[in-house]
Amino acid sequence: MSKETMKLVANNKKAYHDYFIDEKYEAGLVLHGTEVKSLRMGKCSVKESFIRIENGEVYVYGMHISPYEKGNIFNKDPLRVKKLLLHKQEINKLTGKVAEKGCTLVPLQVYFKDGKAKIEIGLARGKKLYDKRQDIAKKDERRANEREFKISNL
């Protein structure tokens, strides 16, 4: 009956703009001491990062965790390749899906769940330019509707 606590560290809005997200998975992050402290302070970016499966193991590339100020010699490289923890059957399923044409893995958000660093990854298909334009048009229309509603309720 433990209540799950979740503290969001980093969000990847760009992934939702550039991709259709088909499935989401939660994976653990393998980190070193000062990286965890830096994450707790919210110093993380997943905008330009991507995920690869190599030899049955999942890695995230380009995820930037800023060095911890008080970490001196114990700090690791901020762009170090980090291993993700997933179950074997999940990795096998993802390997099959990524082998399909047009599917890729992208990090969606980094957060702490019950004191453990987690990353949400999405199985994604790339959007074409016209899909992005449709999304932008929908967003503009929604904003205009909200503005009209706000004005009419004054």
**Confidence class of residue 100 from pLDDT cuts 50, 70 and 90?**
confident
**What pLDDT band is residue 87 in, cutting at 50, 70 and 90?**
very high
**Please, which residues bridge with residue 75 across strands?**
none
Closest CA to 116 of 9, 15, 43, 44: 9
For residue 34, CA distances in Å to 49, 121, 154 come to 20, 23, 51
* Residue 10: other Cβ atoms inside 10 A: 21
CA 83 to chain centre: 14
- Tokens 């939702």 belong to 16
Per-residue pLDDT tens digits for 135-153: 888 888 888 888 888 777 7
| Domain regions of the chain by residue span | 6-126
Q: What is the pLDDT of residues 43-65, one digit of tens each?
A: 888 888 888 888 889 999 988 88
Q: What is the pLDDT of residues 10-32, one digit of tens each?
A: 888 888 888 888 889 999 988 88
> Does 38 have pLDDT greater than 80?
yes
Tokens of 41: 């302070």
- On the question of pLDDT at 107 being above 60, the answer is yes
Residue 132 makes CB contacts below 8 A (sequence gap 6+) with 17, 18
Residue with the bigger pLDDT between 130 and 121: it is: 121
> Is it the case that residue 92 has pLDDT exceeding 80?
yes
| CATH code for residues 6-126 | 2.40.280.10
pTM here is 0.74
Q: Cα 34 to the chain's mean position, in Å?
A: 21
Q: What is the mean pLDDT of the chain?
A: 83
**Which among 111, 109, 114 has a CA at the least distance from the CA of 39?**
111
